[in-house]
A and B are shown apart, each in its own frame.
Chain A
């Protein structure tokens, strides 16, 4: 444990500390509390100014060593009192009352080894040296000032005379400052040698500054003799009789003594000049003289206002010091009650001391009213409003002059300066806009009627032309001489299968809508006729709901050209297969489960035509009639891989042909007949003179040329019309 707890405030202190750093009370019962510790009451300094209760303060605050316990007893807690009582019973009385012999004092000094080095240096330098030697450690300017202010040794000790204490901690500054002053004064030139140094309070705490003010402004003769009675008594008790007062006081190390104001008969003029103290700001004295008035007598200060305020209270005698002018009213009222001790506190006339200079920092922090009370009030503030709702008020912002001074706004011409060329462009633009707004509605009605007429005319022309061609059969359209290769492959496949010894069994898939049955039925009829001519077995399956009906129409149309063909035995209709690509996948995997029955509900795969077949590959060919590109692709992707070498032949409409050409070129489709052109090519290959395609070939080609001609005529007419109407 390297700390000790204060019994009064409970704060932690160093083990070597004798007094508490917080409350400044002794940590041990045998240690006296320094009476010049920082005064807790901030108004004590005012008490010194008042002077009427100095005696009472001295009797209470400056306690005698012997009476300390009795005075402090009411402040001691009960528990601590019991502890002290028990301690007093067990232990012998402390020997602190006995004066230490001089030879033991160094040993006490040695116990301060834990003190900071700088304090030790100060102590070491202060102890053996006299006052003159002490001055050698101070800077030159400090010495000069000291010499100037104290040309002759004065029997006065002034604590607050401006010691420069660099970097003193706040907790130590007060005690150490008092100690240093005490040592330097007591061990130096004696009690009659003052130490008056310029004050540098930049690093000093406020309390220290307050003490300085107290010590500085309280002349020795103003201190009541009763305030120093304790010192006399202490001196009598601590020191042997007959010892000089210059006896070393090192025994008081670690204790801070109160401000010692030695009662000297002739105090220095500087110490008796409380008003003219250079460290006090000017604003502290409301009715005091300017700072530079060095020769002003304190009695010349005008205290009339204060005295007038206190007139009748019987305290006129109290207003003896200029500081009283700063006291608040309530304090002055309180001061009226105590008895006055006026003559002792009257400020004496200063001697020929020159006035000190106010520090710069004090100039900066003083109230501006103290420095220039009349500068704040400017001319504007003194101005009184003469008119308006604020008439009679003072300090109003001036606005009348600004409002009354106005000028007529300049008039600019709104007429645009345009050139002749710009005027022409503007006129042209205006006419264009007028034309647009004028011709809008009639043009729309005219366009609607013209469209209807055009549709009727075009429709009639086409219908009449096609009917005329179909009826007349002019035969102007020649069959193509060049046949597409896919049509040739298709033809070769059909001829190969139908010419075989065994009649082929072909799976025919109908995947087209009735809307395109005119094209596909016309193309496929000749092909189915060829298959029937070869006595092929045809198993029809449809991916469209209308497919089974179209199958019957197709079979009937083809069978009409082949009366010997046994349709009931060689043709079977497996019906509609829903599901799109999934149905094709199911058909490719197992056709017997995908389409198990015929349209009549009979088992399809047990018939004579399909007996023994279990897969798509068992068919000799697959013929697809389609107008749907997506379903055609599904056939190629889903069924063709399962078909193996079985050829996939396609009859498609003209619109699907480009989408199936890549599969033809890749060989996935063995042959294809697309559109009327393909049908014409197939009939050209089969050398059928009266095929179904041949009957519609003139009408088909004539209609295509008619549409192309109408497009050309329409494009030419409207193109020329736009070109003519285009503005130049």
Chain B
């Protein structure tokens, strides 16, 4: 058996957490709360580790002897400034808030706009690149839901036949989402059982 100590700790923590969820005993609830708080702290530390790794990667790119990446210097400089301002001004300061609302939000929103244009071009060229009934089905469905999502037909929803048709069409995404959720639930259950039984040990490396 590989990593017996880690396996024992993982299975024990999982069983205690599961029992604390179903059995309302003070001891189990306290243990469960304690374990979950440890998990939250470890997740915060993992965030710090991720930041440190990001900085190290861009430092190596910037200091590499061949194929040096100059743009990594901008990232490192921006990170230093933001970190220093946050430590000095605190995260709730309006200046720190503007770093996010005036820099990060427009950039990410612009990326979403470019994505919208790219997807439009791809939809236009769909029949140029690939034919077949699947392409036709995808184009028809995209077209229909674009019209429905735009609210263009909402004014015509009072028509009896069209109302029923729109209701039936709007049910299709919900049906698909239910199937996905059922699959996700079964997958989560299986994964949890595998971890509790020691069959799946992602922590052993």
Interface positions of A (Cβ within 8 A of B): 451, 454-455, 458-459, 462, 477-482, 513-518, 545-546, 548-550, 552-553, 573, 575, 577-580, 582-583, 585-586, 589-590, 593-594, 598-601, 633, 654, 657-662, 665, 675-677, 680, 697, 700-701, 703-705, 707-708, 710-715, 718-719, 721-722
Q: Which residues of A contact B36 (CB under 8 A)?
A: 582, 585-586, 589
Interface positions of B (Cβ within 8 A of A): 29, 32-33, 36-37, 39-40, 43-44, 47, 90-92, 94, 96-97, 99-101, 104-105, 107-109, 111-112, 116-118, 120-121, 123-128, 131, 139, 142-143, 146-147, 149-152, 154-155, 157-158, 163, 173-174, 176-178, 180-181, 184
Q: Which residues of A contact B128 (CB under 8 A)?
A: 714, 718, 721-722
**Contact, CB under 8 Å: B127 / A550:** no
Whole-angstrom distance from the CB of B13 to the nearest CB of chain A? 12
C-alpha spacing A680/B155, complex, angstroms: 13
C-alpha spacing A577/B90, complex, angstroms: 17
**Contact, CB under 8 Å: A718 / B123:** no
Known: A661-B174, A718-B128. A583 touches B90 (CB 8 A): no
**Contact, CB under 8 Å: B177 / A582:** no
C-alpha spacing A412/B92, complex, angstroms: 96
C-alpha spacing A697/B152, complex, angstroms: 11
Q: Which residues of B contact A578 (CB under 8 A)?
A: 40, 43-44, 47
Q: Which residues of A contact B37 (CB under 8 A)?
A: 586, 593-594
* Chain A: CB-nearest residue to B166: A482
C-alpha spacing A714/B130, complex, angstroms: 13
Whole-angstrom distance from the CB of A528 to the nearest CB of chain B? 16
Known: A675-B149, A677-B151. A550 touches B100 (CB 8 A): yes
Contact partner, B155, options A478, A601, A665, Cβ 8 Å = A478
**Contact, CB under 8 Å: A549 / B99:** yes
Q: Which residues of A contact B155 (CB under 8 A)?
A: 478, 480-481
Contact partner, A481, options B101, B120, B157, B180, Cβ 8 Å = B157
Whole-angstrom distance from the CB of A587 to the nearest CB of chain B? 9
Whole-angstrom distance from the CB of B179 to the nearest CB of chain A? 10
Q: Which residues of A contact B157 (CB under 8 A)?
A: 480-482
Contact partner, A573, options B44, B92, B127, Cβ 8 Å = B92
Q: Which residues of B contact A665 (CB under 8 A)?
A: 174
**Contact, CB under 8 Å: B120 / A701:** no
Question: Would you give 23 A-B contacts (Cβ < 8 Å), ordered by A?
Answer: A458-B117, A462-B120, A481-B154, A482-B157, A514-B104, A515-B111, A548-B92, A552-B94, A553-B97, A578-B40, A578-B43, A579-B40, A582-B36, A586-B40, A601-B90, A707-B146, A708-B142, A710-B124, A711-B124, A711-B142, A713-B124, A714-B127, A718-B125
**Contact, CB under 8 Å: A458 / B146:** no
Most buried by A among B104, B107, B125, B131: B125
**Contact, CB under 8 Å: A455 / B146:** no
Q: Which residues of A contact B100 (CB under 8 A)?
A: 514, 546, 549-550, 553
**Contact, CB under 8 Å: B117 / A600:** no
Q: Which residues of B contact A582 (CB under 8 A)?
A: 36, 39-40, 43
Q: Which residues of A contact B143 (CB under 8 A)?
A: 708, 711-712
* Chain B: CB-nearest residue to A547: B100
Known: A600-B90, A658-B177, A718-B125. A704 touches B43 (CB 8 A): no
**Contact, CB under 8 Å: A458 / B150:** no
Q: Which residues of A contact B90 (CB under 8 A)?
A: 599-601
Whole-angstrom distance from the CB of A42 to the nearest CB of chain B? 77
Ranked nearest first, the 7 interchain pairs of A and B with the lowest CB-CB distance are A714-B124, A480-B154, A549-B100, A515-B108, A704-B150, A579-B43, A658-B173
**Contact, CB under 8 Å: B124 / A482:** no
Whole-angstrom distance from the CB of A52 to the nearest CB of chain B? 94
Contact partner, A715, options B91, B127, B173, Cβ 8 Å = B127
Whole-angstrom distance from the CB of B141 to the nearest CB of chain A? 11
* Chain B: CB-nearest residue to A701: B150
**Contact, CB under 8 Å: B101 / A553:** yes
C-alpha spacing A413/B112, complex, angstroms: 71
Contact partner, A455, options B32, B121, B163, Cβ 8 Å = B121
**Contact, CB under 8 Å: B33 / A589:** yes
Whole-angstrom distance from the CB of A244 to the nearest CB of chain B? 105
C-alpha spacing A602/B139, complex, angstroms: 54
**Contact, CB under 8 Å: B92 / A659:** no
Whole-angstrom distance from the CB of A544 to the nearest CB of chain B? 11
C-alpha spacing A718/B130, complex, angstroms: 10
Contact partner, A454, options B124, B127, B184, Cβ 8 Å = B124
Contact partner, A583, options B43, B121, B127, B146, Cβ 8 Å = B43
Q: Which residues of A contact B173 (CB under 8 A)?
A: 657-658, 661
* Chain B: CB-nearest residue to A513: B108
Whole-angstrom distance from the CB of A616 to the nearest CB of chain B? 13
* Chain B: CB-nearest residue to A714: B124
Q: Which residues of B contact A516 (CB under 8 A)?
A: 112
Known: A600-B92, A659-B177. A550 touches B150 (CB 8 A): no
Contact partner, B109, options A515, A545, A712, Cβ 8 Å = A515
Q: Which residues of A contact B149 (CB under 8 A)?
A: 654, 675, 677, 704
Q: Which residues of B contact A714 (CB under 8 A)?
A: 123-128
C-alpha spacing A570/B121, complex, angstroms: 47
Q: Which residues of B contact A593 (CB under 8 A)?
A: 33, 37
Known: A481-B155, A707-B123, A710-B120. A633 touches B181 (CB 8 A): yes
Q: Which residues of A contact B152 (CB under 8 A)?
A: 477, 701, 704-705
* Chain A: CB-nearest residue to B92: A599
Q: Which residues of A contact B120 (CB under 8 A)?
A: 458, 462, 707, 710-711
C-alpha spacing A719/B109, complex, angstroms: 34
Given A586-B39, A633-B184, output 7 extra A-B contacts at Cβ < 8 Å: A482-B158, A515-B108, A549-B104, A661-B173, A662-B174, A704-B150, A721-B128
C-alpha spacing A700/B149, complex, angstroms: 10
**Contact, CB under 8 Å: B116 / A708:** no
C-alpha spacing A458/B96, complex, angstroms: 37
Contact partner, B123, options A480, A589, A710, Cβ 8 Å = A710
Known: A455-B118, A715-B127. A579 touches B44 (CB 8 A): yes
Whole-angstrom distance from the CB of B16 to the nearest CB of chain A? 13
Q: Which residues of B contact A711 (CB under 8 A)?
A: 120, 123-124, 126, 139, 142-143, 146
Q: Which residues of B contact A680 (CB under 8 A)?
A: 151
Q: Which residues of A contact B174 (CB under 8 A)?
A: 658, 661-662, 665
* Chain A: CB-nearest residue to B140: A715
C-alpha spacing A704/B120, complex, angstroms: 10
Known: A516-B112, A549-B96. A658 touches B176 (CB 8 A): yes
C-alpha spacing A124/B67, complex, angstroms: 121
Q: Which residues of A contact B177 (CB under 8 A)?
A: 658-662
Q: Which residues of A contact B181 (CB under 8 A)?
A: 633, 659, 662
Q: Which residues of A contact B117 (CB under 8 A)?
A: 455, 458-459, 462
Q: Which residues of B contact A579 (CB under 8 A)?
A: 39-40, 43-44
* Chain B: CB-nearest residue to A551: B97
Q: Which residues of B contact A513 (CB under 8 A)?
A: 108
Q: Which residues of A contact B43 (CB under 8 A)?
A: 578-580, 582-583
Contact partner, B40, options A594, A601, A705, Cβ 8 Å = A594
Known: A579-B44, A701-B152. A451 touches B33 (CB 8 A): no
Whole-angstrom distance from the CB of A598 to the nearest CB of chain B? 8
Q: Which residues of A contact B91 (CB under 8 A)?
A: 548-549, 575, 599
* Chain A: CB-nearest residue to B43: A579
Most buried by B among A601, A704, A711: A711
Whole-angstrom distance from the CB of B106 to the nearest CB of chain A? 8
C-alpha spacing A481/B92, complex, angstroms: 41
Whole-angstrom distance from the CB of A112 to the nearest CB of chain B? 82
Known: A462-B117, A704-B149. A517 touches B105 (CB 8 A): yes
**Contact, CB under 8 Å: B44 / A514:** no
C-alpha spacing A722/B128, complex, angstroms: 8
**Contact, CB under 8 Å: B131 / A722:** yes
Known: A580-B43, A600-B90, A707-B146. A480 touches B151 (CB 8 A): yes
Q: Which residues of B contact A514 (CB under 8 A)?
A: 100, 104-105, 107-109
